[in-house]
Amino acid sequence: MAKERSFTEKEGYFGDFGGRYSPEILTEALIELEDTYNKLRKDKKFQKDLEFYRRNYIGRPSPLTYAEKLTKAWGGAKIWLKREDLNHTGAHKINNTIGQALIAKAMGKRRIIAETGAGQHGVATATVGALFEFETAIFMGEEDLRRQKLNAIRMQMLGAKVIGVSSGTATLKDATSEAMRDWALNVSNTHYIVGSVIGPHPFPTIVRDFQKVVGDESKKQFKKENDKLPDAVVACVGGGSNAMGMYYAFLNDKKVKLYGVEAGGRGPSPGEHSATMLFGKTGFLHGTKTLVIQDDGGQVVPAHSVSAGLDYPGVGPEHAHLHSSGRVKYETVSDQGALDAFMEVCRVEGIIPALETAHAFRFAKDLAKELGKKKDILICLSGRGDKDVAEVARLVGLSQGDLI
């Protein structure tokens, strides 16, 4: 009897990772999404529309900034920043939501849903919901709602329904599960805008493709400015979309060292960090085969990070592959290290970075010293930190009086 497989065993996989491990009720929607995207990616009008919104709505290309003050302060390699914080809505997330909203429109879907941790993906989804007139629902863990109140308010102002998730650890992992459940119920009229390079095939590929603009622009801008490529590229990794977008252009440039920085949290004990590359084992979570922080029984262990956006016990399958192949080196930075870097970048360079990116900054500080003055480090400044100021102020003990 002939097997009628909807995709070959290798399609949608990155080495041993990736694939489509989702409930059967979602499979047809995933196949429809894959087929639609395969057509659209070659469609000139789609590419033209995407380019239009990138230039005229997001504000691309985002600048490449030489961080002169940080370079001086850290006393090592030159520091360059890819300014995704200057995009409309304040992070790289809008690159993906604009693209997926155009796909949803092409599929005739009227409703979009999303999961969000730090809220930047929620805001970016609510924004395209308003722009393209979708009914929009955003799932967000109750703990993240507390930490990222400002973004929750922004989403509501943009017309989205924000649904608090109290199950499990009430963070990104549970918001993702809840969004998948909603999608299973409403799959005929709803598109799920997955916010990172995670989830069942084709999401990791789609999200990477919409984020690779970050690396493509960076490469061009850096070459123009320096007539060479950077020696090292650093990005923070939760699910890993800004990092994947940044790395993709450099994967074949073997002289460029690529670093991913995960949340080391409060320490190495289970539940105290989100360092998937260091502590994760191969497993299946949210529809994909990837590295997952899990216990001896195969139960997923809750993750922790001071940054809601990194607080995820899995990672994109392409990252898992880049880790196992050794092309990208993954490191960790603690909560305290990230808070220190957050404050330092604010005061030295006049930029308030997202707490997620602060992890990348802290790692880059040591790397700059290690590489020395003749080298160049490019950091993906994935988003701005307005959303984090209240939480950071609380954690570093700044009272309102101090702030005034």
Partner 1 sequence: MSAIKSVFSDSKSAFIPYISLGDPNYDLCVDWADALIRGGADILELGIPFSDPVADGPVIQKAFKRALANPFSMDTILGTTEKIHSLHPHIPLVYLTYFNPIFHYGFEKFAEKAKIAGIQGMIIPDLPYDTPETDELFKSLKRRGVDLIHLVTPATPLNRMKGIRDFASGFIYYVTSYGVTGERKSISADLEDRIKTTKEVFSLPVSAGFGISAPDQAKEISQYADGIIIGSAVQRIIEENGSNPSLCRKKLEEYAQSISGSLRGKNR
Q: Which of 54, 109, 154, 173 binds partner 1 (CB under 8 A)?
A: 173
The site map against partner 1 for 28-67 (x = CB under 8 A) is xx--------------------------------------
Q: How many CB atoms lie within 10 A of CB 393?
A: 14
Of the pair 187, 256, the CB lying nearest partner 1 is at 187
Does 281 help bind partner 1 (rule: CB under 8 A)? yes
Which 285-344 residues touch partner 1, going by CB under 8 A?
285-287, 292, 294-300
Task: Give kind and range of the element (H or E) at residue 81.
Answer: strand 78-83
Active-site hit among 34, 84, 115, 272: 115
Which of residues 90 and 117 has its CB atom nearest to partner 1 in the complex? Answer: 117
Residue 402 contacts partner 1 per CB under 8 A: no
CA-derived radius of gyration, the chain: 20
Q: Does 156 bind partner 1 (CB under 8 A)?
A: no
| DSSP secondary structure code for residue 57 in this structure | I
Is 108 one of the binding residues for partner 1 (CB under 8 A)?
Answer: no
Q: Which residue among 3, 44, 254, 255 contacts partner 1 (CB under 8 A)?
A: 3
- 27: contact with partner 1 by CB under 8 A: yes
Of all helices (H) and strands (E), which one includes residue 144?
A: helix 142-147
Q: Is 93 noted as a catalytic residue in this protein?
A: yes
**Residue owning tokens 């290798």:** 10
Nearer Cβ to partner 1, position 151 or 176?
176
User: Under a CB-based contact definition with an 8 Å cutoff, are residues 200 and 26 in contact?
Assistant: yes
Is position 22 an interface residue for partner 1 (rule: CB under 8 A)? yes
Q: Is the peptide bond before 61 cis (omega within 30 degrees of 0)?
A: yes
Q: To the nearest whole angstrom, how small is the minimum distance from the Cβ of residue 297 to partner 1?
A: 4
The encoded tokens of residue 143 equal 């703990």
Catalytic residue among 82, 93, 109, 387: 93
Binding piece for partner 1, criterion CB under 8 A, among 18-26, 86-94, 263-271, 365-373: 18-26
Q: Is 115 assigned a catalytic role?
A: yes
How open is the CA angle 103-137-183, to the nearest 5 degrees? 65
With contacts defined by CB under 8 A, how many residues of the chain interact with partner 1?
A: 44
- Token readout for 394 is 């609380």
Segment lying near partner 1 (by CB under 8 A), choices 57-65, 83-91, 213-221, 281-289: 281-289
| Residue in 319, 221, 217, 307 with CA at minimum distance from that of residue 265 | 307
- Give the per-residue SS3 of 340-370: HHHHHHHHHHCCCECHHHHHHHHHHHHHHHH
Residue 75 contacts partner 1 per CB under 8 A = no
Name residues whose C-beta falls within 8 Å of residue 361's C-beta, 6 or more positions apart in sequence: 70, 341, 342, 344, 345, 353, 379
- Tell me which of 21, 57, 66, 132 binds partner 1, using CB under 8 A: 21
Q: Is 6 in the site for partner 1 (CB under 8 A)?
A: yes
Pairing of strands 135-141, 111-116: parallel
* Contact between 23 and partner 1 per CB under 8 A: yes
Rounded to 10°, the helix 149-157/120-131 angle is: 10
Binding site for partner 1 (CB under 8 A): 1, 3-7, 9, 19-29, 167-168, 173, 177, 180-181, 184-188, 281-287, 292, 294-300
Q: Which residues are catalytic?
A: 93, 115, 382
